[in-house]
Amino acid sequence: MPIRPPRLPLLFACLCAAAPAWAVKVDRIEIEGLKDAALRDNVRSALSLNDELGKDLRARRLGYLLRVADDEARRALEPFGYYAPTVEVLRSDRPAADADDASAEDAADGDTAAENAPGRAITVILRITPGLPVRVRGFDLGVDGPGGSDPTVADALQAFQPRPGQVLDHALYEASKAQVAGALARHGYFQAQLLQHRVEVTRAEHAADIALRWASGSRAAFGPAQFTQQPEAVVWPRLLDKLVPWKPGAPYDEAQVDRLRQSLQALDYFALVDVQADPAAASDDRVPVQVQLTPAKRSIYSAGASYGNVSGAGISLGIERRYLNRRGHKALAQIDWAQKRKTATVQYRIPAFAWLDGWYTASLQAADEQTDYVNSRRLELVAGRTGQYSRHLELSASLHVLRERWAYSVLTKPTPSFQFASFVFPELRGEYIAVDDRLAPRRGGGLTLTLRGGSGGADGNATFTQLHARAQWFHGMDADSRLIVRGELGHTFTRDVLDLPPSLRFYAGGDRSVRGYGWHEIGPRIVTTGGDYFTGAPNVVTASLEYERYFHGPWGAAVFVDSGSAFAGRTPDLHTGVGIGLRWRSPVGPVRIDIARGLKSPDSPFTLHLNIGADL
């Protein structure tokens, strides 16, 4: 009778031999010796082993990943200028000499099976000494042809990095190369080509030689701007032609194309503005500019609710016609109706593009305020001209005709005695804004200067000249925080500020002034039958320092200190307020909720402030 082999024990032995081959897991990778977080992150992302964390690995697969980790780490350091690093790959469960030994992984003896017990996790350590960085030695950089003398291209060449003696940083090199190529394209050198593009690294000498030269070719010129309004034209094309900042044949400059785009967007006639230069369609080296415009809805309707400590609850209703006719005229009507304060405004605007982007504007506003301590009515007619002088500077000139009546009841004279004043005065205003983002600026600032003056009053003999300045500065501390500095300074040259109507006086306190105090609370006041009445002053000075930080997505917080005063004479009676705030980047714009406390005899222990909208 033949002897049958023991099948079950043999099968069990085969399973035991095969099972340990996939039991190892790498749960963590540690990188030692690199102080720079950017170096560590780049090495980690380059490791194939990083994609296998937490997975079951066969012994042969793990051995392969450990062997290639050395080369992957070296290549990951080269973009930072380190071409001769020392890399040691270690396993937490083995001596250094055996960490990447393939023969040890491939062995099938009992100790390998014991080491690869099911469920066992190990840590892989990369000990890296980056060594000396490669520095730039030879440096041949330039643009041949007319583009070499172009100021914008010359600035890009001057700013090129890395330069001789600096570490060969690949990211800086590629960014600088792109800046030069971009400068050539922005100024119409569309035929520019690279003549030399070489970086030679001598590892033994830790040196690199850069040779990078362009041939600019000739500079293209502007062709005509071709406007297309779809599905139908809402304004005359000849009106839009006035916005084109170049004449056909002028040297091409992409900044002029951007200016045309911004001008069209500022009109608010169009929902979509697409301005594209088309070098491929150039004829006689003149590049046409295609402008595709999609009209916006003709009418804008608005409604809102409000509440103020002085004005009470209120509503607002408005309608604006973006374009009344093909000449591009605009009209607006707005009513703000609160319990104790009401205003009605109508405005008509006509395009004024012959000199600068801007508008001729005529507006009429009526205001009525009936509170416990003041009875005031105002009617003001304004005719003006605005103009966008440059990318950052907007200028305006206007003529104001003001008629105002006001009265308040004092304890010694409870029956109000009305005062009347009529003034005619011109106003000049300049607004300079240079920030990275108007909605939520992190770098830059803004300055507004106003000069106005005229004569009038109850008897026609009152005169005044007024200067007023507001400034804001923004500084991003890091990706999630910023510092905001604000200031205000104003002075009125007049014999007696009380001869001027309240709308021409300065006040301090409240939102965008000194938080922690009520609206117009800081400054001269008189006691009336309805409480203190803040008369306003000829001078104002305020300052604010605020630190803002976002912690979780669109949510953040702020701390701030404000100080200032509205005052007569030479010395301000400064009042300071401190507080904290909640910040939210909402879909409709930034929302700011502040709680503040005044430090110098405030009327209320705390004030609450709510603002919605851009900082500028």
Q: Which CATH number fits the domain that encloses residue 528?
A: 2.40.160.50
- Residues 247, 279, single domain; the answer is yes
Choose the weakest-confidence range: 56-60, 296-300, 571-575. Answer: 56-60
Q: How many of the other CB atoms lie within 10 Å of CB of 216?
A: 22
- Residues 474, 567, single domain; the answer is yes
The tokens describing 557, both together, are 């917080």
Closest-CA residue to 189 (of 160, 150, 161): 150
Mean pLDDT to the nearest integer, 282-296? 93
Distances (CA, A) of 612 to 197, 261, 425, 583: 52, 27, 32, 10
- Residues 109, 30, single domain; the answer is yes
Residues 6+ apart with CB under 8 A from 68: 48
- Residues 540, 587, single domain; the answer is yes
Q: What is the CATH number of the domain that holds 270?
A: 3.10.20.310
Confidence at residue 422, expressed as pLDDT on a 0 to 100 scale: 94
Residue 346 included in any domain = no
Closest-CA residue to 168 (of 268, 82, 41): 82
Residue 365 included in any domain = no
Residue 252 included in any domain = yes
- Decide which of 129, 163, 194 is a domain's last residue: 129
- Residues 559, 436, single domain; the answer is yes
Q: How many of the other CB atoms lie within 10 Å of CB of 389?
A: 16
Cα gap 467→387, rounded to integer Å: 21
- Residues 81, 142, single domain; the answer is no
User: Structural domain of residue 26, as residue ranges?
Assistant: 15-129
Residue 344 included in any domain = no
DSSP letters for 200-220:
EEEGGGTEEEEEEEEE--PPP
Residue 89 included in any domain = yes
Q: Where are the alpha helices (DSSP H) in 268-400?
A: none
Cα gap 462→404, rounded to integer Å: 14
- Residues 197, 267, single domain; the answer is no
- Residues 475, 397, single domain; the answer is yes
- Residues 67, 141, single domain; the answer is no
Confidence at residue 550, expressed as pLDDT on a 0 to 100 scale: 94
Confidence at residue 44, expressed as pLDDT on a 0 to 100 scale: 94
CB 90 within 8 A of CB 99: yes
- Decide which of 129, 148, 177 is a domain's last residue: 129
Conformation bin of residue 505: beta by default, left when phi > 0, alpha when psi is -120 to 50: beta
Give the pLDDT band of residue 17 (cuts 50, 70, 90): very low
- Residues 193, 54, single domain; the answer is no
Residue 343 included in any domain = no
Residue 56 included in any domain = yes
Give the pLDDT band of residue 220 (cuts 50, 70, 90): very high
**CA gyration radius, the chain:** 36
Structural domain count of the chain: 4
- Residues 146, 45, single domain; the answer is no
What single letter denotes the amino acid at residue 471? A
- Residues 182, 244, single domain; the answer is no
- Decide which of 129, 161, 176 is a domain's last residue: 129
Give the pLDDT band of residue 119 (cuts 50, 70, 90): low
Residue 25 included in any domain = yes
Instruction: Please calculate the CA angle 449-331-245 and round it to the nearest 5 degrees.
Output: 60
